A and B are shown apart, each in its own frame.
Chain A
Amino acid sequence: MVDVVVDRVTKRFGEVEANKDVKLTIPTGEFVVLLGPTGAGKSTLLRLIAGLEKPDEGRISFDGADVTRAPPAQRNVSVVFQQYSLYPHLSVFDNLAFPLRSPAHRVPEADIRKRVEEVARLVRIDHKLANSATRLSGGEMQRVAIGRALVRRPAIYLMDEPLSSLDAKLRAELRVEIKNIQANLGATVLYVTHDQVEALTMASRIGIFEQGRLVQVGTPREIYEQPANLYVAARLGMPAINLLPHDLLPADRMPGNTVTVGARTEHIDLVSATDGPAEVELVEYLGSEIYLHLRLGRYKLVTLVPPGRRWQAGERARVTLRSPLCFNAAGKLLAA
């Protein structure tokens, strides 16, 4: 495993700047997740690190060695894509063994067997090693694809939306599994997704992409609790952060140059009051929690409430904010 350093990288496709002056260091053993909407530039950065694209400007190095112009095969990376491209004519075992059998590596057959069996157990496909790769469910195919990346010990694992095509239950299981496998192996991972749950739950650090720029890099807690700007604030949080004008609700603390207030559930105090300015529009019961949709004049506010207390549509409430996030006219976070 090595440190991967991306230094001031720019990549253009015709007129479009897919990556603009991107700087990112991925130390050994880190799980870095790039989060952003489609077209924000996160997959481009992954492909630049893989060597599938060449940057127009800047430098990429692995452990100090410049690999900016090196072909993918010389970089020692493993890639997992959303579309599991397994070899349909091979068994699960042979699919997993494939990277080890490449002439570039020359691994003895006994070692291959041991390694494949170990990885198959890890991704829980060991009971189907003899199956043909085409006779698997979607989830099983993706586990084989992830396993195929894991049989090697590359400098870095690059994963581009590997769970996006799976159903919710399997996705939730594999999230924990991948994270645990990564921690056990001490593997370095760069993971691309548009799913904030994957980013929050798996990353040791998250990088938020906006239109080709990496706008903030930090631990999930840092990004969630101290988003650098409104764009970042809106990327994370379930329900989404409420962005409101500064003078709409009373708050205990607010710098003078605040223009927009960001209020998450943990910033909102709600008291039922017949003369309150907020009206409950919708009570969305989700089992472990309730999404309460409130209307405040022309603004909406969504917050979580515990299932113990029954709110009713039409009920009125008073809302106060406790240490909300405050943003200036440029949308930048103001220090508390």
Chain B
Amino acid sequence: MAEIDLQKVQKHFGDFTAVRESSFTIRDGEFFVLLGPSGCGKTTTLRMIAGLELPTHGKILLDGEDVTYKRASERDIGFVFQLFALYPHMKVRENIAFPLKCQSVKRAEIKRRVEEVAKLLHIEHLLDRSVSGLSGGDSQRVALGRALVRRAKACMMDEPLGALDAEFRHLMCVELHALHQRIRATTVYVTHDQTEAMSMANRIAVMNHGVVVQIGSPQDIYDRPAAMHVAGFIGNPPMNFLSFRSRVTAGQDRVQLNGDPVRVPTLLEASPETALTLGVRPEHVSLVSDGELRGEIFGLEYMGTMQVATIDTKHGRLKARIPASQRVSVGENVALRLDSERLVVFDTASGIALKSQLFEEQARG
């Protein structure tokens, strides 16, 4: 297992910049997720680490060794793709063993390692079956087995669960997470699905337009989004944005949201009068008898344990996660309270969060 270091890596395809100068380190044994919408550069980044694309500029170190211009086959990296691409004419055992055969590993050693990996993935009972009759989940486990059996320095996964339906995808996330806790292989995982990223990652790099916007633990990124892109991409439903215009000064703990005063974490930077956005997570909005904002319920989505209310306010539409037991109805006029300690103020034009007490908590750990 190994650490992966990207130093000022860039990738251009003709005039198109797929990845802008990015530097970050993927730690030894870490499950690192590259998250973003399609076209954000996450797959290109993964392919450069793997050696399937060469960077236009910059350096990539694997375990301290400069591998920037080495071929994929010389990098000692395992792969899992969305389409499991198993060899249909081979049995499960032969599929998993294939990378070892290519490396001319001894027969007995192959047998031992294939069985070890199969046990890890709970597919020992399938080893002598043909891959053609396997379920989607089992096929994916075999593909994982084939990537893991080599004990490569790192494992690359490009949307490996993308083809599965939502509930099953979540089950596989749990399985992958548990598997990673057992083997601690350095893993780089690409996805556009924020739930997958949140569920499995030690750290997430959120990308947009070829730029790494924020890197942090799932909780950091969720609780303290550095930019509107991150806040709006993560969360189910994502963070609500309410627009307003104002001037702010450092030390201020209240903003005027189009005339409604709203308490926020103490701001640590100033801004001249400009377009601002107040970010609030749906679980930090509660429906109360007396609150700072008012709105009308546009939609209610009962989800069993909780419900999501979509509310139209004069500042824009927002969603609130409220207990399923709270009886409210569509069309009802309601008062809203926002959890003042958890709000984020963004500069609308740049999308960047203004520094506040909220972000200081992170510094203190």
Per-residue interface assignment for chain A, residues 169 to 201, with 1 indicating a CB less than 8 Å from any chain B CB and 0 otherwise: 100100110011001000000000011110011
A313 within 8 A of B: yes
Contacts of B198 in A (CB 8 A): 285-287
Contacts of B173 in A (CB 8 A): 284
A172-B237, A176-B310 are contacts. A284–B199 as well, Cβ < 8 Å?
A: yes
Per-residue interface assignment for chain B, residues 296 to 315, with 1 indicating a CB less than 8 Å from any chain A CB and 0 otherwise: 00110111110010100000
Q: Are A281 and B178 in contact (CB under 8 A)?
A: yes
Per-residue interface assignment for chain A, residues 141 to 181, with 1 indicating a CB less than 8 Å from any chain B CB and 0 otherwise: 00000000000000000000000000111001001100110
Per-residue interface assignment for chain B, residues 229 to 243, with 1 indicating a CB less than 8 Å from any chain A CB and 0 otherwise: 000001111100000
Interface residues of B in 62-87 (CB under 8 A from A): none
Contacts of A293 in B (CB 8 A): 174
Q: Are A282 and B178 in contact (CB under 8 A)?
A: yes
Per-residue interface assignment for chain B, residues 275 to 308, with 1 indicating a CB less than 8 Å from any chain A CB and 0 otherwise: 0000001110000000000000011011111001
Q: How far is the CA of A293 from the CA of B324 in the complex (A)?
A: 23
Contacts of A196 in B (CB 8 A): 167
Q: Are A288 and B236 in contact (CB under 8 A)?
A: yes
Q: How far is the CA of A204 from the CA of B199 in the complex (A)?
A: 32
B270 within 8 A of A: no
Per-residue interface assignment for chain B, residues 319 to 343, with 1 indicating a CB less than 8 Å from any chain A CB and 0 otherwise: 0010010000010000000000000
- Please give me the residue from chain B that is nearest to A236 by CB atom: B304
Contacts of A221 in B (CB 8 A): 302, 324
- Please give me the residue from chain B that is nearest to A183 by CB atom: B330
Contacts of B174 in A (CB 8 A): 282, 284, 291, 293
Q: Are B282 and A288 in contact (CB under 8 A)?
A: yes
Q: How far is the CA of A197 from the CA of B302 in the complex (A)?
A: 9
Per-residue interface assignment for chain A, residues 197 to 215, with 1 indicating a CB less than 8 Å from any chain B CB and 0 otherwise: 1001110000000000000
Which residue from B199, B302, B321 sits with its C-beta under 8 Å from A288? B321
Contacts of B218 in A (CB 8 A): 285, 287
Which residue from B236, B238, B301, B305 sits with its C-beta under 8 Å from A264? B305
B37 to chain A, nearest CB (A): 9
Q: How far is the CA of A175 from the CA of B302 in the complex (A)?
A: 12
Interface residues of B in 14-45 (CB under 8 A from A): none
Which residue from A194, A265, A313 sits with its C-beta under 8 Å from B305? A265
A304 within 8 A of B: yes
Interface residues of B in 175-204 (CB under 8 A from A): 177-178, 181, 192-193, 195, 198-199
Which residue from B199, B222, B238, B301 sits with its C-beta under 8 Å from A201? B301
Q: Are A266 and B305 in contact (CB under 8 A)?
A: yes
A238 within 8 A of B: yes
Q: How far is the CA of A157 from the CA of B5 in the complex (A)?
A: 55
B349 within 8 A of A: no
Q: Are B299 and A180 in contact (CB under 8 A)?
A: yes
Contacts of B181 in A (CB 8 A): 282, 313
Q: How far is the CA of A200 from the CA of B324 in the complex (A)?
A: 12
A168-B193, A286-B195, A287-B234 are contacts. A197–B222 as well, Cβ < 8 Å?
A: no
A220 within 8 A of B: yes
A238-B304, A313-B181 are contacts. A286–B299 as well, Cβ < 8 Å?
A: no
Q: How far is the CA of A284 from the CA of B202 in the complex (A)?
A: 11
B333 to chain A, nearest CB (A): 17
Q: How far is the CA of A293 from the CA of B173 in the complex (A)?
A: 13
- Please give me the residue from chain B that is nearest to A169 by CB atom: B238
A58 within 8 A of B: no
Contacts of A307 in B (CB 8 A): 219
Contacts of A183 in B (CB 8 A): 330
B194 to chain A, nearest CB (A): 8
Contacts of B102 in A (CB 8 A): none
- Please give me the residue from chain B that is nearest to A284 by CB atom: B199
- Please give me the residue from chain B that is nearest to A241 by CB atom: B304
Contacts of B310 in A (CB 8 A): 176
A27 within 8 A of B: no
Contacts of B321 in A (CB 8 A): 288
B197 to chain A, nearest CB (A): 10
A267 to chain B, nearest CB (A): 11
Q: Are A197 and B235 in contact (CB under 8 A)?
A: no
- Please give me the residue from chain A that is nearest to B192 by CB atom: A167
Q: Chain A CB within 10 Å — which of B177, B198, B282, B303 has the most?
A: B303
B108 within 8 A of A: no
B182 to chain A, nearest CB (A): 11
Q: How far is the CA of A288 from the CA of B339 in the complex (A)?
A: 13
Q: Are A220 and B299 in contact (CB under 8 A)?
A: no
Contacts of B308 in A (CB 8 A): 201
Interface residues of A in 251-283 (CB under 8 A from B): 264-266, 281-282
Q: How far is the CA of A293 from the CA of B235 in the complex (A)?
A: 21
Q: Given contacts A221-B324, A286-B236, list 17 more A-B pairs with CB under 8 A.
A: A180-B299, A200-B302, A201-B301, A201-B303, A236-B304, A237-B304, A237-B305, A240-B167, A264-B304, A266-B305, A282-B177, A282-B178, A286-B195, A288-B282, A291-B199, A304-B305, A313-B181
Residues of A bordering B, CB below 8 Å: 167-169, 172, 175-176, 179-180, 183, 194-197, 200-202, 220-221, 224, 236-238, 240, 264-266, 281-282, 284-289, 291, 293, 304, 307, 313
| A to B CB contacts below 8 Å, 20 in the list | A168-B166, A169-B238, A176-B298, A179-B301, A194-B165, A200-B301, A200-B304, A201-B301, A202-B301, A221-B302, A238-B303, A238-B304, A284-B173, A285-B219, A286-B198, A288-B222, A288-B236, A289-B283, A307-B219, A313-B181
Shortest 6 CB-CB contacts between residues of A and residues of B: A201-B301, A287-B222, A176-B299, A288-B283, A224-B304, A220-B302
